[in-house]
Chains A and B, each alone.
Chain A
Amino acid sequence: DAGVIQSPRHEVTEMGQEVTLRCKPISGHNSLFWYRQTMMRGLELLIYFNNNVPIDDSGMPEDRFSAKMPNASFSTLKIQPSEPRDSAVYFCASREPTGETQYFGPGTRLLVL
């Protein structure tokens, strides 16, 4: 079975540009999580969805960040406008209804110049 799929794997953009990160969770999983990982702050939860509904977005840094989950098999994290301090690895993870294990995707490495 395919794991969590993220795209793109790498993204280099210039400050001020819009960035869209994409995630396809594991089929049958009903919770989806977006994380950001940096050396300074470690792995931080940005937002998580349950049954396509945002449950907790308290980790979203500011209004420049937004996330959507239009259906059970797709989610996006958008940064507009992007800034150099947004440079990080962004992970998506999904979890099945009755479990506590989160399955992580390979991440998107974002560099904002």
Chain B
Amino acid sequence: TQLLEQSPQFLSIQEGENLTVYCNSSSVFSSLQWYRQEPGEGPVLLVTVVTGGEVKKLKRLTFQFGDARKDSSLHITAAQPGDTGLYLCAGAGAGGTSYGKLTFGQGTILTVHP
């Protein structure tokens, strides 16, 4: 069974601060996705990282995939209240019975105070 551990579980910061969310596993994934979920809605994809060591930037968000494709991080620079939400990492199965499936981390609830 592939498991993803996400940390921290809760994060409460002031507007303008930087933060990093981590996603770790002992399993290798073919790709890793980051989703953001707002209250009352389903998760929405932010980014997919595929190659070990890959770094992707989405405005103030920077996503990194570990060299061994087992871990990932999300860094937000100068957080804003609009960044508030639940952030989920999800690993795509590398093959066999895991193919086509996403394994989700527990999520990080981020609150950015004005």
Contacts and interface: CB of A to CB of B under 8 A. Distances in A.
Interface in B61-114: 88, 92, 97, 100-107
Contacts of A44: 104
Contact of A100 (B44, B92, B97, B107): B92
- Nearest 8 Cβ contacts at the A-B interface: A104-B42, A43-B104, A42-B106, A101-B45, A104-B43, A91-B42, A105-B42, A107-B42
Contacts of A48: 100-101
A20 interface: no
A38 to B, nearest CB: 11
Interface of B: 31, 33, 40-45, 48, 88, 92, 97, 100-107
Interface string A1-19: 0001000000000000000
Interface residues of A, number: 21
B42 to A, nearest CB: 3
Contacts of A33: 102
Contacts of A4: 42
B45 A102 contact: yes
24 contacts: A33-B102, A42-B104, A42-B105, A42-B106, A43-B43, A43-B88, A43-B104, A43-B107, A45-B104, A48-B100, A55-B100, A56-B97, A91-B43, A93-B42, A100-B31, A100-B33, A100-B48, A100-B92, A101-B33, A102-B45, A104-B44, A106-B40, A106-B41, A107-B40
